[in-house]
Structure 1
């Protein structure tokens, strides 16, 4: 596969050592992460030419994130700079019966306040074969919905295949907002990645007879969910 472009937010991740809770440890490990950035890194590790696109502030923390991406051979040449801050998330890793806890501090980040003029998609997709984004990015605001659509339109114009991981995050937007935005964006998508919860939360398509919390699973229901999604959006 030739060049794959991913677009989204990379954030500073702060986490206690080991499985301590946030207030049980006086030190936090600083790393970087984000759904689309993680995909770019994974592809680069497999030898794929991967490019990550975002907007970052022009400061030392953002440069550390860029250096981290470059260390994995991810192309960062299309990252744009501006705005005041990177998004941050605090992660408390779960242990035994205690689930993980994620706390966002990403309001007014550079990418959240980006505009359509920030990105030269014609140049970004000049030699690309694939474009990937997730439902996390348009969840950051209506401006990001428009930017994602702009990217999809340019990708389609150039014959670039598009994939999207629905990845519904209730901390970022409502089901109604997600359905409106993703219905608009998924008409451009060739390959959709989702689980039964995403399909239900975003599009109201439920896997009948399946409840992951109780452990009751009907495999045929998953095929029906996939069939309904394909029929609705003509996914490949």
Structure 2
């Protein structure tokens, strides 16, 4: 059994690199909820929790597949604490007062009108405080359809400074998107449409056997920065996007240039594929290691 969640995974990756991280969430006031809070604390993330004694903890079940059978996820989230999140659940201005960045994802928005409105309130407070707002589309078709997601996500995107999305996400979220456009052109269109400072494109390609190739490209109004691609043998594919985003945020907050940032993010995405579970345990030394040594065991 693992504790997982897109925002928490991302914060854990950033915290592992020395970034002070705070996770605002609602949890069931029961042993499972306490287990989740303890997991965050164990990985250096301070949890600001709105405890709900009448809610249950969310569950998801993973069936790992191997080609040609895909892995599958079954979500069990009805009646859980986060589905009852409202825009006034937290004093957002106090939480973001000293923040450099504020993060959320489409998974939170998928949980209902209240959570989606809370994301918007969170981002508005963060921008007023001078923090960079960060949003990972993270569409999960088993949580909500694109028909349900598009109007909600379009309402959020106008409050987003840094967007993490894929080509298919942008084709759906951009009004009248050109289906023949490449991902960089679509990212530029998103910047024009929603006012993002940056769109980050993360690609994972399946290679023969249990191998993948990961790459990250950052697009701004004036610059396209495509980093090198990295290959990895897959132990567990879950959490790779969260790891890449967490390392990207840590790198930007540390003042790294864009080329260094996308390089570290792509490497972290590959690195995470080699670890079991969702949690990114990347260390600063791991980000400077490119390729396993000949003996393959570090002693």
Interval of TM-score (by shorter of Structure 1 and Structure 2): 0.7 to 0.9
In structure 2, do the counterparts of structure 1 residues 203 and 108 end up closer, same or farther at CA, with 3 Å as the change threshold?
Answer: farther
**What is the deviation of 1:96?**
2.6
Task: Indicate if the aligned counterparts of 1:196 and 1:225 stay in contact, CA closer than 8 A.
Answer: yes
Structure 2 counterpart of 1:144: 115
Task: Indicate if the aligned counterparts of 2:136 and 2:163 stay in contact, CA closer than 8 A.
Answer: yes
How many residues of Structure 1 are paired with residues of Structure 2 in the alignment? 195
Task: Indicate if the aligned counterparts of 1:175 and 1:202 stay in contact, CA closer than 8 A.
Answer: no
SS of structure 2 residue aligned to 1:153: helix
Q: Give matches, 1:129-140, under 5 Å.
A: 129-140=100-111
Task: Indicate if the aligned counterparts of 2:27 and 2:51 stay in contact, CA closer than 8 A.
Answer: yes
- Any stretches of 5+ residues in structure 1 without a counterpart? 1-29, 209-219
Taking structure 2 as the reference length, the TM-score comes to: 0.62
Structure 2 counterpart of 1:178: 149
* Structure-2 separation of matches of 1:175 and 1:65: 29
1:181-232: per-residue Cα shift (whole Å, max 9, x none)?
A: 1111111111111011211233363552xxxxxxxxxxx7111111111111
* Structure-2 separation of matches of 1:225 and 1:160: 25
In structure 2, do the counterparts of structure 1 residues 126 and 175 end up closer, same or farther at CA, with 3 Å as the change threshold?
Answer: same
SS of structure 2 residue aligned to 1:177: helix
Indicate which of 60, 68, 81 corresponds to 2:31. Answer: 60
RMSD: 1.5
* Structure-2 separation of matches of 1:137 and 1:38: 14
Taking structure 1 as the reference length, the TM-score comes to: 0.78
Do structure 1's residue 189 and structure 2's residue 150 form an aligned pair? no
Structure 1 counterpart of 2:86: 115
Q: Give matches, 1:191-230, under 5 Å.
A: 191-203=162-174, 205=177, 208=180, 221-230=182-191
1:52-82: per-residue Cα shift (whole Å, max 9, x none)?
A: 1110011111111111111111111x12101
Do structure 1's residue 166 and structure 2's residue 127 form an aligned pair? no
1:111-150: per-residue Cα shift (whole Å, max 9, x none)?
A: 1012233211122112111101111111110111111111
Structure 2 counterpart of 1:81: 51
Task: Indicate if the aligned counterparts of 2:75 and 2:143 stay in contact, CA closer than 8 A.
Answer: no
Structure 2 counterpart of 1:41: 12
Indicate which of 57, 72, 77 corresponds to 1:101. Answer: 72
SS of structure 2 residue aligned to 1:137: helix
1:144-192: per-residue Cα shift (whole Å, max 9, x none)?
A: 1111111111111111110111111122222232221111111111111
Task: Indicate if the aligned counterparts of 2:87 and 2:119 stay in contact, CA closer than 8 A.
Answer: no
Structure 2 counterpart of 1:126: 97
* Structure-1 separation of matches of 2:188 and 2:87: 34
* Structure-1 separation of matches of 2:179 and 2:9: 28
SS of structure 2 residue aligned to 1:144: helix
SS of structure 1 residue aligned to 2:19: coil
* Structure-2 separation of matches of 1:41 and 1:115: 24
**What is the deviation of 1:233?**
0.8
